[in-house]
């Protein structure tokens, strides 16, 4: 599937002068609600009107969507506003109903992407369709699962494909509802540069006040578009109220976002950029050297622990390191999230080194 140019054809054919925008309520609640939001969005830069018809919830008892009835409301949206429509499908039956109601774009949610069995069932149901199908990343940061789901669809003859980056679940404390793991999204882009990649800042943040910043970051990283949940009365929404914005706020967000150029032809700019990149390369090499030296010390500690039959993990010491480095990092303008991520990776590597020594 690598380097298949047809994967981008549907987006190229739209000939947009701005990133693709998908917007609408998290959940279709009533016909009146759906149509009201759609009419408020119809004369904006929104390209697809979204609404959740079936809502997979973590626990039973919460609102799980209006079901197939909502598809008729989406048909009315198209008839009255001319907007293209989209919704989430989670099984073959959803696919069948969505196709029967001529939904223009379907997306597959994170809970579905995580299961190859579900993805194959959906792929079989979509076999040969010319509808646009977007696949959200799985809830856990597993690039192979994400790519595997898309490949199943491609092998079923679905060529109008794309991906949605909605962040990843974590048990750790974070300002995000789902941590972005931008590096994983960048790796996805590197593997499939011709596959349209859409960012979902609503699910990443879980908070409407953070949506602009995450959207701008996504555009700075050359994402192809945004999916932003939009509700006329967000605080009264039946699901995910905190992460939805009003149509007016959405319009302002789109107006304020900066679209970056991919490059600049000016020679002076490129010369300065190359100088700065050379500095980055030098510092990166120094970081690798320092990490190697740190691991050598960790190895020496492992040898000492083996001699005295001492456990690898020392929780008190680890807590002290984290607390100290968070303070030190903040003093240097580094975020707590970055420091935690970096030192947890370093600590894990140290544990691996010492573990091998104790077993030798």
* Confidence label for 262 from pLDDT (cuts 50, 70 and 90): confident
Reference 136, options 119, 124, 121; nearest CA is 119
Contacts (Cβ under 8 Å, ≥6 apart) of 355 = 302, 312
- The DSSP string of 18-79 is S-EEEEE-SB---HHHHHHHHHHHTTSS--EEE-BSS---SSTTS----TTHHHHHHHHHHH
pLDDT of residue 1: 59
The Cα–Cα gap between 71 and 96 comes to 12
What mean pLDDT do residues 336-348 have? 92
For 309, other C-beta atoms within 10 Å of its C-beta total 7
Alpha helical stretches, state H, 257-314: 267-308
Look at residue 2 and tell me whether its pLDDT is greater than 70.
Answer: no
CATH superfamily, domain at 267-359: Chorismate mutase (1.20.59.10)
The CATH class of the 5-256 domain is alpha beta
Q: So what's the pLDDT on residue 330? A: 93
Q: What is the mean pLDDT of residues 300-323?
A: 92
3-state secondary structure of 111: helix
pLDDT at 237: 94
Listed range (118-127, 168-177, 282-291) with the worst mean pLDDT? 168-177
Q: Which helix (H) or strand (E) holds 84?
A: strand 84-88
Q: What angle do CA 110, 52, 49 make, to 5 degrees?
A: 110
**What is the band of 106 on the pLDDT scale with cuts at 50, 70, 90?**
very high
User: Hey, do 5-256 and 267-359 end up sharing a CATH topology, with the first three levels equal?
Assistant: no
Question: ∠70-206-68 over CA atoms, to 5°?
Answer: 10
Could you report the per-residue pLDDT of 163-176, keeping only the tens digit for each? 999 999 987 778 89
> Residue 17: its pLDDT value, please?
87
CA distances from 109 to 67, 89, 112, 118, 204 (A): 16, 7, 5, 11, 13
Residue spans of the domains in the chain: they are 5-256, 267-359
> Could you read off the pLDDT of 237-250 as tens digits, one per residue?
999 999 999 999 99
Percent of the chain whose predicted confidence (pLDDT) is above 70: 97
As a whole-number percent, the residues of the chain with pLDDT over 90 amount to: 79
Please answer whether residues 166 and 203 qualify as being in contact, where contact means their C-beta atoms are separated by less than 8 angstroms.
yes
Token readout for 161 is: 């494909």
Nearest to 20 by CA among 84, 73, 63: 84
Question: Quick check: 32 pLDDT over 70?
Answer: yes
What would the mean pLDDT of 271-288 be, rounded to a whole number? Answer: 91
Give residue-wise pLDDT tens across range 49-90.
999 999 776 667 677 789 999 999 999 999 999 999 999 999
Residue 6 has pLDDT above 90, yes or no: no
DSSP state of 171: S
Tell me: pLDDT of 230 over 90: yes
Rounded mean pLDDT, 228-241: 95
What is the average pLDDT score of the chain?
92
Decide if pLDDT at 255 tops 80. yes
pTM reported for the whole predicted model = 0.83
Q: pLDDT category, 4, cuts 50, 70, 90?
A: low
Q: Is the pLDDT of residue 5 over 70?
A: no
The model's pLDDT over 190-213, given as tens digits with 9 standing for 90+, comes to: 998 889 999 999 999 999 999 999
8-state DSSP, 224: -
- What is the pLDDT confidence band of residue 260, given thresholds at 50, 70 and 90? confident
């Amino acid at each position: 599937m690598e380097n298949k140019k047809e994967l981008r054809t549907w987006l190229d054919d739209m000939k947009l002068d701005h990133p693709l925008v998908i917007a609408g309520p998290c959940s279709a609640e009533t016909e009146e609600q759906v149509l009201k939001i759609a009419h408020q969005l119809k004369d904006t830069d929104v390209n697809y009107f979204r609404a959740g018809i079936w809502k997979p919830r973590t626990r039973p008892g919460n609102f799980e969507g209006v079901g197939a009835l909502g598809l008729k409301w989406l048909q009315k949206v198209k008839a009255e506003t001319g907007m293209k429509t989209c919704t989430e499908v989670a099984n073959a039956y959803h696919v069948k109903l969505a196709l029967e109601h001529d939904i223009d774009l379907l997306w597959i949610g994170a809970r579905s992407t995580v299961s190859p069995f579900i993805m194959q069932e959906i792929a079989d149901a979509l076999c040969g369709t010319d509808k646009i199908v977007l696949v959200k990343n799985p809830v856990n940061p597993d690039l192979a699962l994400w790519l595997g789901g898309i490949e199943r669809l491609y092998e079923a003859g679905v060529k109008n494909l794309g991906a949605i980056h909605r962040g990843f679940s974590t048990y750790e404390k974070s300002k995000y509802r789902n941590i972005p793991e931008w590096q994983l999204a960048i790796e996805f882009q590197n593997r499939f540069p011709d596959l349209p990649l859409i960012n979902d800042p609503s699910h990443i943040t879980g908070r409407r006040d953070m949506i602009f910043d995450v959207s701008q970051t996504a555009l700075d990283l050359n994402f192809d578009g945004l999916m932003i949940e939009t509700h006329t009365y967000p605080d009264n929404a039946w699901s995910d109220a905190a992460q939805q914005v009003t149509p007016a706020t959405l319009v302002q967000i789109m107006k304020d976002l900066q679209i970056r150029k991919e490059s600049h032809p000016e020679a002076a700019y490129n010369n300065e950029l190359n100088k700065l990149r050379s500095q980055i390369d030098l510092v990166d090499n120094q970081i690798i050297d320092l990490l190697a030296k740190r691991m050598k010390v960790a190895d020496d500690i492992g040898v000492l622990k083996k001699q005295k039959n001492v456990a690898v993990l020392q929780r008190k010491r680890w807590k002290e390191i984290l607390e100290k480095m968070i303070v030190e990092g903040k003093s240097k303008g580094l975020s707590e999230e970055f420091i935690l991520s970096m030192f947890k990776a370093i600590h894990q590597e140290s544990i691996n080194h010492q573990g091998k020594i104790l077993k030798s």
